[in-house]
Structure 1
Amino acid sequence: TIILHSQIPVYVFIDNNAASAGALISIACDSIYMRSGANIGAATVVDQTGKPLPDKYQSYMRSMMRSTAEAKGRDPEIAQAMVDPRIYIENISDTGNVLTFTTSEAIKHGYCEGKAENIRELLNDAGFENYEIIEQKLTTTDRIIGFLINPMISGILIMIIIGGIYFELQSPGVGFPLVASIIAALLYFAPHYIEGLANNWEILVFIIGVILVAVEIFVIPGFGVAGITGIMFIIVGLTLSMVQNFGFDFIYINYLQLIKAFFIVITATFLSLILSFYISKKIFTSTIFGQLALASTQQVKNGFTSADAQYLTMIGKNGYAKTILRPAGKVEIDDDIFDATAESGFIDEGEKIKVVRYETAQLFVRKNES
């Protein structure tokens, strides 16, 4: 549409072939120039295997080709014959195949203004004397985007994303793994989004997947539907962000690219988990980590106990049996009632007792003979 309605004359140079969308773009230009041996046509809409799509797609393409040709003063019947092999034009399209022109045929039938072997020859033939040829070059931004969407780099970013999520879920509140995961996710999704590969809903699916996994770990006991669904959403979001699709329409998707993207995501995920297990084991047993976290065991023989300090202070105190201890019962010490166990034998109600020790959350007493 931009080319078709451009206020500046647009010239196209067909260096080799202008098929499919290339044919439509060429017809939208004001002037077409072709090199010897070049071709234009064959604009049937096909899938990734080369099989023609249903007629509703062909009808739309025929309409675009026809209207574009009319707008540029070219024969619309020839334009739609480049899409539909059923179009019959005597001595032009009468073989039952979609129409494709060579350079000389395109010139003869008004689909090429002239033959040129290079851009300078085109400009000279078109009557331009003073001109400057400016070639499109990759900018720094283009190079960065190209670097980030490289499959190997994408795989590394996926490993950082998954690894960061794993470490953050293992040790909530640390912060660094989460920050690393977020930065990696931005570097992964942003270039794919700019290139038109990642859609909004694909990024949303990934985010929902992360939330579901977190909910499964921190809120729902066990590991079930939410966790499995979350993992699936994460994989789907990462995979579909690497391939071209239009919304929820997957008709034009390149399934070879989809399989390749899925393989990259699965491989990166497994490698990330394996490395995460290995690294976490090394970190938690390292000397540096040992200086930051308590690694020793608090043994009773070293004076450590989990007992309530109140009960420890009762050792050596005297009281009497509130009930019969056989061997468990209740005792009264300092006007308070406690559960206690006779160290040996039975102790009758009312007999004097003495606390001898406190173990396993239980007071042990014996008869006080004094």
Structure 2
Amino acid sequence: MKWFILFLLILQTVVKASVLIGSWQEPVSPVMVDYVKRLVEKAETKNFDAIILTLDTPGGLAKSMREVIKVINNTPIPFIVFVYPQGAQATSAGAIITVSADLAVMSPLTNIGSASPVSMQGKDIDETMKKKVVNDMLALVRAIAKEKGRNTKAIEKMITEAKNYSAKEALKLKIIDFIANDIGEVIKKAKNREIKKLGQTFKIKITNEKAVFLEKSFIEKILIVLTNPTIAYFLLMIGFYGIFFELYNPGSIIPGTIGAISFVLALYSLNMIDVNWLGVILIGLGVLFFALELITPTFGGLTLAGVLSIALGSAILFNPNSPYGDISIYIIAPVVLFSAVFFLAVSYFGLKAQRKKSITGIESIVDRKAKALTDINPEGKVMIDGEIWNAYSDKLINKEEEVIIEKVEGLKLKVKKAK
């Protein structure tokens, strides 16, 4: 009996998994496209019976959404999108991706919808362009609904009226196929479900309920971090300041290198997030004002202009309605304040240095130490920088003692004993 149980346990470990699981809890972006492609490639290479993608997204880029839909519908392997866990959402581009799957599944307490098109910055677009975009998306969802047997009108309302549905409402309206509490339940309910794909109608065959999970790659994790608006903002600021200090003080190398790398990463991040480029220009202009304050001190005038420019640029850099989020005022305020204080301080000390009387030539030896070559009583000789000078003192100074030069009187030095 023991050997039989051991055999079953060994058999369980060597049985090939039938289902490949992926997870996406970020905005729809080019990074998601790469991840879904990698998910499908692995499933096709390893001959998995089905793919399940758990989804929790506020939406994202329409272009990336279409790429994901292409990948989902051009693989012969059944692709299931599962809005999970409870409390998750599949809105905007995420909603269209969900209904385009071979099986659309939601867990309780989730929602789907709000797919009205907005501009790249999260704002409403003008009426003419909106009609074009809406009609384009409607044509897409009609084709998807017809192919997958879903409720066309209910899905259209997610676009035309920004309708949002709970899991129960979506099931009742035939937007999704079923509700499940977890992945195990999804696999059980997906077995023998009939789907239509690539011109064929067939049932989903799942050999066993064993599943494996595909982790995000290191590069994908890095790229996801870079699409965080706060990270992108800091990279932009570091980039501007690093490049500025390299130009202000050529040859430093390190500030310029860090600045250049940060700036390139910031540009990549901002391009992914689709920021308001006017905000980037205003931030750059603010740094320029600070730089001009250093070169031509205006007693704070250009610094004030820089503060206003950076503050305004930071405020409009990201739209709060964007699926990528916005920058908190608690981040913007310290950055602007630090920039202002730093540049004002540098400008102040630079101006102070310019106004300071230049000390060169013979006067440069005042307050320096020298060595008594003879007794100084009251006169004698001292040596400084290899030169011998006549010197005098109000008090006796013995030979070999250190002295401090008090002042230069022609070719004679007044000195005093060093303490």
What residue is the counterpart of 2:361 in the other structure?
298
Is residue 2:218 matched to residue 1:139? yes
TM-score normalized by the length of structure 1: 0.50
Residues 158 and 278 from structure 1, CA distance in 2 versus in 1: closer, same or farther, beyond 3 angstroms?
farther
Match of 1:69 among 139, 142, 153: 142
Aligned equivalent of 1:21: 93
Distance 1:53 1:145 in 2: 27
Separation in structure 2 between the aligned mates of residue 46 and residue 198 of structure 1, nearest angstrom: 12
Counterparts of residues 1-370 of structure 1 (less than 5 Å)? 1-6=66-71, 7-8=74-75, 9-15=78-84, 16-45=88-117, 56=128, 59=131, 60-61=133-134, 63-73=136-146, 74-85=150-161, 99-127=163-191, 128-130=206-208, 132-137=211-216, 139=218, 142-143=221-222, 146=225, 151=230, 155=234, 158=237, 161-162=240-241, 165=244, 169=248, 173=250, 175-176=251-252, 179-191=254-266, 193-194=268-269, 196-197=272-273, 235=310, 239=314, 243=318, 257=327, 262-263=332-333, 265-274=335-344, 276=346, 296-299=359-362
Relative to 1, partners in 2 of residues 1:77 and 1:210: Cα closer, same or farther, differing over 3 Å?
A: same
CA-CA distance at 1:167 after TM superposition: 8.0
Structure 1 unaligned segments of length 5 or more: list them.
86-97, 246-250, 285-294, 303-370
For residue 190 of structure 1, report the CA deviation from its aligned partner: 0.8
Structure 2, unaligned runs of 5 or more: 1-65, 192-205, 366-419
Distance 1:104 1:229, change over 3 A: closer
Please state how far the C-alpha of 1:150 moved relative to its aligned partner: 7.8
Q: Per residue, is there more helix in 1 or in 2?
A: 2
8 A Cα contact 2:123 2:319, kept in partner: no
**CA deviations over 1:136-189 (Å, ceiling 9, x no partner):** 4362673487389684896598368537735853xx54x21x640452342255
- Residue 363 of structure 1 is matched in structure 2 by none
Q: Deviations over 1:283-325 (max 9, x none)?
A: x8xxxxxxxxxx84335899xxxxxxxxxxxxxxxxxxxxxxx
> 2:207 and 2:90 mapped to 1: Cα distance?
27
**How far, CA to CA, are the matches of 2:303 and 2:351 in structure 1?**
25
**Is the 8 Å Cα contact of residues 79 and 101 (structure 2) preserved in structure 1?**
yes
RMSD value over aligned CA atoms?
5.5
Partner of 1:353: none
Sort the Cα spacing of 1:152 and 1:79 in 2 relative to 1 into closer, same or farther, 3 A.
closer
Partner SS state of residue 4, structure 1 = helix
| CA distance in structure 2 between the partners assigned to 1:64 and 1:141 by the alignment | 28
Q: Using the TM superposition, give the Cα deviation of residue 32 of structure 1 relative to its aligned residue in structure 2, in angstroms.
A: 0.4
Amino acid at match of 1:186: I
Separation (CA, whole Å) in 2 of partners of 1:144 and 1:253: 16
The verdict on how the C-alpha distance between 1:158 and 1:211 changes in structure 2, with shifts beyond 3 A counting, is closer
Distance 1:215 1:281 in 2: 13
Which residue of structure 1 lines up, in the alignment, with residue 401 of structure 2? none
Deviation per CA, 1:56-76: give whole Å up to 9, x if none: 576433641453232342333
Aligned to 1:83, what secondary structure does the other structure show?
helix
The structure whose RCO (Cα within 8 Å, separation 6+) is larger is 2
**Shift of the alpha carbon at 1:193?**
1.8
1:28-68 CA deviation, whole Å, 9 max, x = no partner? 222201223433334345799x9977655764336414532
Q: Is the 8 A contact 1:158 1:268 kept in 2?
A: no
Distance 2:167 2:284 in 1: 52
Amino acid at match of 2:143: E
Q: Percent identity?
A: 19
In the superposition, relative to structure 1, how do residues 184 and 200 fare at CA in structure 2: closer, same or farther (>3 Å)? farther
Give the whole-Å Cα distance in 1 for the aligned partners of 2:273 and 2:171: 38
User: What is the alpha-carbon distance in structure 2 between the residues aligned to residue 135 and residue 255 of structure 1?
Assistant: 27
Task: State the one-letter code of the partner of 2:190.
Answer: A
Letter in 2 for 1:13: F
Is the 2:238–2:262 contact (alpha carbons within 8 Å) kept by the matching residues of 1? no
Question: Partners in 2 of 1:51 and 1:144 — Cα distance?
Answer: 24
In structure 2, distance between residues paired with 1:76 and 1:133: 34
2:309, 2:177 → 1: CA distance? 53
Q: What letter matches 1:122 in structure 2?
A: V
TM-score normalized by structure 2? 0.45
Structure 2 distance, partners of 1:33, 1:187, is 41
Task: Give the partner amino acid of 1:270.
Answer: A
Q: Relative to structure 2, which stretch is displaced further, 193-202 or 33-42?
A: 193-202
Structure 1 217/115 Cα, relative in aligned 2: closer, same or farther at 3 Å? closer
Q: How many residues align?
A: 267
State the shift of 1:126 in Å.
1.7
Aligned to 2:90, the other structure's residue is in SS state strand
- 2:239, 2:262 within 8 Å by CA — same for their partners in 1? no
Structure exhibiting the larger radius of gyration computed from Cα positions:
1
Alpha-carbon deviation of 1:231?
5.1
8 A Cα contact 1:148 1:187, kept in partner? no
Q: Deviations over 1:256-297 (max 9, x none)?
A: 638667535422312432564688799x8xxxxxxxxxx843
Distance 1:153 1:256 in 2: 11
